[in-house]
């Protein structure tokens, strides 16, 4: 064999050897099937449409009383746990504000930990709890955000950091507590800090390299569409944070994201509609180009973030099936929009008490401000329902495609509110409002687990929960609704009537969303536990102080005798 | 804090909390006084998001300032300036007079709440 022949034979072999090793982990196609596939959990929201619904029914209302913990693993912090785990290839991937873990899903044994270290001064920028809500996985990598504003990729097998990019400066008031979104091969991340005198944004990243592809500023600058809705340079400190995750429709190739409240809260300090704060936007993942928008509250003065989850559903409206997104907004209304066009289809009150508006004008889509709000804008203190904590806070709702109902942790909390004038100061809270929340009263619940009709706002049933819950819900084909309580119990309720069927004390307070999946043919439910977050900081409820700190994750399955395991 | 500045801080504290020593007889620790207003604004900007509105929180995750001993001024200054356990340091962004104003606000709120009123 001549050397030329040998070279010709070797070149293809060398070329194969030079190719990167095949990546493991879910493909884009697998991510888009997460709402159907039950032996993995590859997306935040248990599906790109964020329904938090599972077709599993092995655990159901007839046997849920036999649910028992399979294992518990400590998560090495005493901060609040708002994270949603992911499951792939027999491993649970878990996020806290300062670490990412891979755990053996069968035993809870720690396989690796990717630890973060923060400048302690940075923590003073965090408004509402040192938390991190979740991960994205794709093609052998995990993606997360850090409190000090890094976006990073982690090897799913080894836990090694593959790349880490800085998105913004914490000293300006930015932090990151949210979950990224993977859409058509683009990693999209948001930011917190809207109440700290910052300007909100979304970023698009190349998940392979960490290269930034685009930035979408959520407050419009002069000369841009919507730029005339701000006076002077108020848009530069105008808020519009993006601290919760978006959702994605692969068929329409549209990303949906809820944008946060304007800053400062005192609306008199920033006349105009303040686009695109308190707005739901649809955008192209490849470019960040906005396709449509619906502003929920123009010139908001009550910190009614519109960041809550955007749930995809098909609902029959006026006799026709419509592909919609549903948002139970902080402001006490549940909105239903056409997913392709942004047309407002329904806006209905889903809380018992609401004083800031007299309804939504369905022609313009704008709220009809109440006399109380108009009086408040003159500087007079008023009582506002719901408070800026909302009719529902961040805790993600679930939606059953069977019952067509939302299952959410609702709140009935008022606030005393008075707009004042305060000067902007870099990296400190920029509310320009004095506000406070009431002390709890015996026999008057501040929270309810609610089944809500998204088309009417009707509470089909509601079960009092006190102190109010602020973790997510999970709806299953077993006719169950799971949610965690801040007093530590993971609880299961009858989907038909809200009756409590089962609960288990996890050791600390729960403020996270549960997930469910199958492993080795058995159905499991998993939940992170750890008191913290907004309500434990802000609500003057002494019951919170009775709850021990300490983060952990527990997974549950139906009881089997030891000898049968 | 050196001894001299500590002395002046204590003096200002005395003025803030005694309520009767300033020329003209004005009581700076009364609700609505300039000193309390300054402390209130600083509290809202720097402290409120962890310690609650008007210092009312559950005590679950952060210290309940209604329980902070009003005679432990130096402990207060040290905790704010240098941080304590999970609390981040603020000494690089709050000066001595601002920390004094915060202490005065805290004491005033405690007194008001003991008397069953709010500011």
Cα–Cα distance for residue pair A280/B76, rounded to 1 Å: 44
Domains of chain A: 44-564 (2.140.10.10)
Chain A residues with CB under 8 Å of B90 CB are: 124
Cα–Cα distance for residue pair A221/A231, rounded to 1 Å: 10
Cα–Cα distance for residue pair A418/A149, rounded to 1 Å: 32
The catalytic residue among A303, A305, A453, A466 is: A303
Cα–Cα distance for residue pair A550/A508, rounded to 1 Å: 6
Q: What is the pLDDT of residue B59?
A: 78
pLDDT in tens, chain A (565 residues): 455 554 444 444 444 444 444 467 899 889 999 999 999 999 999 999 999 999 999 999 999 999 999 999 999 999 999 999 999 999 999 999 999 999 999 999 999 999 999 998 888 888 888 899 999 999 999 999 999 999 999 999 999 999 999 999 999 999 999 999 999 999 999 999 999 999 999 999 999 999 999 999 999 999 999 999 999 999 999 999 999 999 999 999 999 999 999 999 999 999 999 999 999 999 999 999 999 999 999 999 999 999 999 999 999 999 999 999 999 999 999 999 999 999 999 999 999 999 999 999 999 999 999 999 999 999 999 999 999 999 999 999 999 999 999 999 999 999 999 999 999 999 999 999 999 999 899 999 999 999 999 999 999 999 999 999 999 999 999 999 999 999 999 999 999 999 999 999 999 999 999 999 999 999 999 999 999 988 888 888 889 989 999 999 999 999 998 888 7
**Residue A25 φ/ψ, nearest 5 degrees:** 95, 170
Chain A residues with CB under 8 Å of B46 CB are: 124, 428-429
Q: What is the pLDDT of residue A7?
A: 47
Q: What's A362's DSSP letter?
A: T
Cα–Cα distance for residue pair A101/A40, rounded to 1 Å: 17
**Residue A376 φ/ψ, nearest 5 degrees:** -60, -35
Please indicate whether, in this complex, the C-beta atoms of A545 and B59 are within 8 angstroms of each other. yes
Please indicate whether, in this complex, the C-beta atoms of B86 and A544 are within 8 angstroms of each other. no
Give the CA distances from residue A351 to residues A122, A494, B86, in Å, rounded to whole numbers and listed in that order: 36, 21, 36
Q: What is the pLDDT of residue A23?
A: 63
Closest chain B C-alpha to A396 CA, distance in angstroms: 22
Chain B residues with CB under 8 Å of A532 CB are: 60-61
> Which of A476, A471, A474 lies closest to A488, judged by CA?
A471
Q: What is the pLDDT of residue B56?
A: 86
User: Tokens standing for A467?
Assistant: 């102190």
The Cβ of residue A1 has, within 10 Å, a number of other Cβ atoms equal to 6
Please indicate whether, in this complex, the C-beta atoms of B60 and A540 are within 8 angstroms of each other. no
Domains of chain B: 3-114 (1.10.760.10)
- Residue A541, chain B, CB below 8 Å: the answer is yes
- Residue B92, chain A, CB below 8 Å: the answer is yes
Please indicate whether, in this complex, the C-beta atoms of A121 and B88 are within 8 angstroms of each other. yes
Contact A376, A363 (CB under 8 A): no
Q: Say how many CB pairs under 8 Å bridge A and B.
A: 82
Q: What share of chain B is helix, strand, coil (3-state, %, to 5)?
A: 60, 0, 40
Q: What is the pLDDT of residue A372?
A: 98
Please indicate whether, in this complex, the C-beta atoms of A436 and B88 are within 8 angstroms of each other. no
A248 sits in which H/E element: strand A247-249
Cα–Cα distance for residue pair B111/A279, rounded to 1 Å: 43
Query: How many alpha carbons fall within 13 Å on the CB side of residue A194?
Result: 31
Which residue among B44, B49, B56 places its CB closest to the CB of A540?
Answer: B56
- Residue A550, chain B, CB below 8 Å: the answer is no
- The CA-based angle B62-B65-B71, given to 5 degrees, is 135
Q: What share of chain A is helix, strand, coil (3-state, %, to 5)?
A: 10, 35, 50
Please indicate whether, in this complex, the C-beta atoms of A124 and B41 are within 8 angstroms of each other. no
**Torsion A86-A84-A391-A293 (CA) sign:** negative
Say whether A303 is catalytic. yes
Q: What is the pLDDT of residue B33?
A: 66
Cα–Cα distance for residue pair A333/A452, rounded to 1 Å: 11
Angle between helices B34-42 and B96-114 (to 10 degrees): 100
Mean pLDDT score, B65-89? 92
Please indicate whether, in this complex, the C-beta atoms of A127 and B58 are within 8 angstroms of each other. no
- Residue B5, chain A, CB below 8 Å: the answer is no
Q: What is the pLDDT of residue B24?
A: 30
Q: What is the pLDDT of residue B32?
A: 57
In DSSP notation, A431-469 reads --EEEE-PPPBTTB-SEEEEEE-TTT--EEEEEE-SSPP
In DSSP notation, A509-523 reads ---S--EEEEETTEE
Q: What is the pLDDT of residue B26?
A: 33
**Torsion A272-A277-A278-A280 (CA) sign:** positive
Chain A residues with CB under 8 Å of B79 CB are: none
Which residue among B45, B50, B60 places its CB closest to the CB of A547?
Answer: B60
Cα–Cα distance for residue pair A275/A225, rounded to 1 Å: 9
Please indicate whether, in this complex, the C-beta atoms of B49 and A549 are within 8 angstroms of each other. no
Torsion (CA) A99, A105, A111, A116 in degrees, nearest 10: 0
Residues 50-89 of B with CB under 8 A from A: 50, 52-54, 56-62, 64, 83, 86, 88-89
Please indicate whether, in this complex, the C-beta atoms of B45 and A532 are within 8 angstroms of each other. no
Residue with the bigger pLDDT between B67 and A135: it is A135
Contacts of A180 (CB under 8 A, 6+ apart): A135, A136, A143, A144, A145, A151, A187, A188, A189, A245
User: Tokens standing for A51?
Assistant: 């329904």
Which residue among A120, A540, A549 places its CB closest to the CB of B89?
Answer: A120
Closest chain B C-alpha to A71 CA, distance in angstroms: 26
Q: What is the pLDDT of residue B4?
A: 38
Chain A residues with CB under 8 Å of B60 CB are: 509, 531-532, 536-537, 544-545, 547, 549
Contact A93, A102 (CB under 8 A): yes
Chain B residues with CB under 8 Å of A243 CB are: none
Number of H helices, E strands in chain A: 4, 38
Please indicate whether, in this complex, the C-beta atoms of A538 and B88 are within 8 angstroms of each other. no
């Amino acid at each position: 064999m001549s050397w030329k022949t040998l070279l010709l034979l070797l070149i293809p072999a060398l070329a194969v050897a030079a190719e990167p090793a095949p990546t493991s982990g879910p493909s884009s196609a697998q991510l888009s099937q997460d709402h159907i596939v039950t032996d993995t959990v590859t997306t935040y929201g248990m599906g790109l449409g964020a329904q938090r619904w599972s077709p599993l029914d092995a655990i159901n209302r007839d046997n849920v009383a036999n649910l028992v913990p399979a294992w518990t693993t400590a998560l090495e912090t005493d901060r609040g746990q708002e994270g949603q785990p992911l499951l792939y290839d027999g491993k649970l991937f878990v996020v806290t504000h300062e670490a990412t873990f891979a755990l053996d899903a069968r035993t809870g044994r720690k396989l690796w930990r990717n630890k973060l270290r923060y400048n302690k001064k940075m923590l003073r920028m965090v408004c509402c709890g040192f938390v991190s809500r979740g991960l994205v996985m794709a093609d052998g990598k995990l993606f997360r955000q850090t409190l000090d504003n890094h976006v990073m990729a982690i090897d799913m097998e080894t836990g090694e950091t593959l790349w880490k990019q800085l998105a913004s400066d914490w000293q300006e008031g930015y932090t990151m507590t949210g979950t990224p979104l993977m859409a058509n091969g683009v990693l999209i991340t948001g930011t917190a800090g809207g109440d700290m005198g910052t300007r909100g944004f979304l970023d698009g990243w190349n998940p392979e390299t960490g290269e930034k592809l685009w930035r979408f500023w959520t407050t419009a600058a002069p000369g841009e569409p919507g730029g005339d809705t701000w006076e002077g340079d108020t848009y530069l400190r105008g808020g519009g944070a993006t601290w919760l995750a978006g959702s994605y429709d692969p068929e329409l190739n549209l990303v949906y994201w809820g944008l946060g409240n304007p800053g400062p809260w005192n609306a008199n300090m920033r006349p105009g509609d303040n686009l695109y704060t308190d707005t739901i936007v649809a955008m192209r993942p490849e470019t960040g180009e906005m396709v449509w928008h619906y502003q929920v509250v123009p010139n908001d003065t009550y910190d009614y973030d519109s960041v809550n989850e955007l749930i995809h559903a098909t609902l029959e409206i006026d006799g026709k099936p419509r592909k919609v997104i549903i948002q139970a907004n902080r402001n006490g209304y549940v909105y239903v929009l056409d997913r392709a066009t942004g047309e407002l289809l329904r806006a209905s009150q889903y809380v018992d008490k609401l004083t800031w508006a007299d309804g939504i004008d369905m022609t313009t889509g704008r709220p009809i401000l109440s006399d109380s709000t108009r009086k408040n804008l003159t500087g007079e203190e008023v009582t506002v329902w719901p408070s800026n904590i909302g009719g529902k806070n961040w805790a993600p709702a679930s939606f059953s495609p069977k019952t067509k109902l939302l299952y959410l942790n609702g709140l009935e909390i008022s606030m005393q509110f008075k707009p004042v004038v305060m000067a902007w100061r870099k990296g400190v809270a920029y509310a320009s409002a004095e506000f406070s929340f009431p002390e709890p009263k015996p026999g008057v619940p501040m929270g309810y687990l609610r089944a809500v009709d998204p088309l009417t706002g009707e509470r089909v049933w509601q079960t009092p929960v006190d102190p109010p819950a602020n973790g997510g819900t999970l709806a299953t084909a077993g006719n169950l609704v799971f949610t965690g309580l801040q007093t530590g119990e993971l609880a299961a309720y009858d989907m038909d009537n809200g009756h409590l069927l089962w609960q288990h004390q996890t050791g600390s307070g729960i403020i996270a969303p549960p997930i469910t999946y199958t492993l080795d043919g058995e159905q499991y439910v998993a939940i992170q536990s750890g008191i913290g977050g907004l309500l434990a900081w802000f609500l003057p409820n002494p019951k919170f102080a009775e709850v021990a700190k300490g983060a952990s994750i527990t997974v549950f399955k139906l009881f089997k005798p030891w000898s049968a395991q | 804090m050196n001894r001299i500045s500590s002395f002046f801080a204590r003096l200002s504290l005395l003025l803030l909390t005694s309520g009767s020593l300033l020329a003209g007889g004005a009581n700076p620790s009364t609700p609505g006084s300039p000193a309390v207003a300054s402390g209130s604004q600083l509290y809202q900007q720097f402290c409120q998001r962890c310690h609650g509105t008007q210092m009312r929180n559950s005590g679950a995750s952060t210290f309940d300032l209604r329980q902070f001993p009003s005679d432990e001024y130096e402990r207060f200054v040290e905790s704010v300036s240098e941080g304590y356990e999970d609390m981040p340091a603020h000494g690089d962004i709050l000066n001595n007079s601002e920390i004094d104003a915060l202490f005065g606000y805290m004491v005033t709120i405690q007194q008001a709440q003991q008397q069953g009123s709010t500011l």
